[in-house]
Amino acid sequence: MLLLRIRQASTHRPLASLLTGQRMYSSAQRPATIQVLGSAHSTDSWTNATSAILEKTGRNLLHQESHPLSILKSLIFKEFPDFAHYDSLSPVVSAYQNFDSLGFASDHPGRSQTDTYYINQNTLLRTHTSAHQLQLLEAGRKGDTDLLAQAKNGQAAPGNERFLVAADVYRRDEIDASHYPVFHQMEGVCTFTRDELRQAQAPELKHAKSKLIDSTVISDSNPKQAEHTAEELELLSAHMKRTMNSMVTQVLARAVEAQKKAGEPVQQEFPVRWIDAYFPFTSPSWEMEVLFRGEWLEICGCGVMKQSILDAAGMKDRVGWAFGFGLERLAMLLFGIPDIRLFWSTDPRFATQFAPEQISLFRPFSKHPPCPKDVSFWLPETQFHENDLMDLVRNAAGDLVEDVRLVDSFIHPKTGRSSRCYRINYCSMDRNVTHAEINQIQEQVRGQLVEQLGVTLR
């Protein structure tokens, strides 16, 4: 389940039109195979997963007990004791798993090379944990012992009728303090036979001062599926919302304990509101927001599972709901972490601040001045996509880049050519950088802009 509302294609486009401007590998530069987690994969014209991204696939932040993301994962796992728990599934999935099995249209923008890291046309780095929904449902029905054995707490749901998936996901995106090309999601799926649904009991709210705001209605824009009765929809949505309300308020209550220890003002209640949303693989769909530290925080996307997914898994007798959210966004607020790059830091001044199963507020250990550099160029005649620029900068400078911003653009009145100027803020999280060091990286960026993206420098 994607945390953010998925963009819908405004027009239908042929598959070939999704091959937009991606030239991270020319045919001459592209290796015949690339290694991902020890396995060799053939490459083709779709290959755009760079070495900087592939190096992240084995970091396993969710398995480091004292890491904030692992701490948050463990806290959420404990809120679902009757679910199977998965946190070791490979990030390498098929295009079918990531898109087709979930009902993504063939022209959906998420399939584009500008949005997704492809190993080859049929294989990619998952963009969301929902890529495993059908796989795990089928494994439960068929008794796939190899896959079921990867579950922690598998005895609680031996047929994967209920499961959580925590995993790293990969998307080409902008560069700033809250966006990173690799982040982590938590996925939850809960299914019932229709008889079980009528008997199901949702958890009691664990925080008595949770105020619920829910004015959502079923409508043509957020419809009931034809396969479900009105009663089934009501039971599914009520069970899901009560379960999510309980889980989120319990986790936030743990954050209040950290506020107390730090001597900060303590929040006494956690208002929750529900908003209509759209996802290709649930209907109706909602987003859940919680008022935390004075701001409405978008926690998750969720909804009633598309019956077509359960049918494809051979589970026509079951109905269900699903949710998903990004761990980084919630962890940044709970732990007070200001820059998403810090999650990948190996600096002991970061790592030693946290302990397993405890939420504690981050204490800044350094602040180094940024070293801004501008780059201006004329756009190529072929299509230009900003995510190609972001990936190129990341590949050249790694985590030395704090953010990249468009500071100027114009169209020449006589030639009609378009010009862009981007400001790249270089800033290390743990040391000062020199202009000589950054100038060398900047020249590499400028050269690769010409070579790989076909721009004309100004």
- Alpha helix locations (H) across 336-385? 348-351
pLDDT tens-place values along the chain, 458 residues long: 544 333 333 333 333 333 333 445 555 578 999 999 999 999 999 999 999 999 999 999 999 999 999 999 999 999 999 999 999 999 999 999 999 999 999 999 999 999 999 999 999 999 999 999 999 999 999 999 999 999 999 899 999 999 999 999 999 999 999 899 999 999 999 999 999 999 987 666 555 456 778 889 999 999 999 999 999 999 999 999 999 988 888 888 887 777 777 777 777 777 889 999 999 999 999 999 988 778 888 889 999 999 999 999 999 999 999 999 999 989 998 898 999 999 999 999 999 999 999 999 999 988 888 999 999 999 998 889 999 999 999 999 999 999 999 999 999 999 999 999 999 999 998 888 899 999 999 999 999 999 999 999 99
Gap between the Cα atoms of 72 and 358, Å rounded: 9
Question: What's at 86, amino acid-wise?
Answer: Y
Please state the separation of Cα 208 from the chain's center in Å.
31
Amino acid at 35: Q
pTM score, whole prediction = 0.89
**Could you count the other beta carbons within 10 Å of the beta carbon of residue 127?**
22
Burial tier of 83 (Cβ tally within 10 Å: 0-12, 13-18, 19+): buried
- Pairing assessment for the beta strands 162-170 and 84-86 based on DSSP bridges: parallel
Beta strands in 132-281, from DSSP E residues, in sequence order: 162-170, 182-193, 212-214, 272-279
Q: Would you call the peptide bond into 338 cis, given omega within 30 degrees of 0 as the criterion?
A: no
DSSP letter assigned to residue 210: P
Containing H/E element for 420? strand 418-426
Quote the tokens at residue 444: 């590499």
Residue 131, SS3 per DSSP:
helix
Collapsing DSSP states into helix, strand and coil, what is residue 272?
strand
Q: Per residue in 353-363, is it b (16+ CB within 10 Å) or e — as a string?
A: bbeeeebbebe
Residue type, 329: R
Tokens 């959420």 — which residue? 76
Distance CA 140, CA 293 (A): 41
pLDDT of 95 reads 97
CA distance 452 to 455: 8
Give the pLDDT confidence score for residue 441 in this predicted structure.
97
Q: According to the model, what pLDDT value does residue 10 have?
A: 33
Residues 6+ apart with CB under 8 A from 362: 335, 336, 337, 338, 342, 350, 353
Please report the pLDDT score of residue 210 as a whole number.
Answer: 62
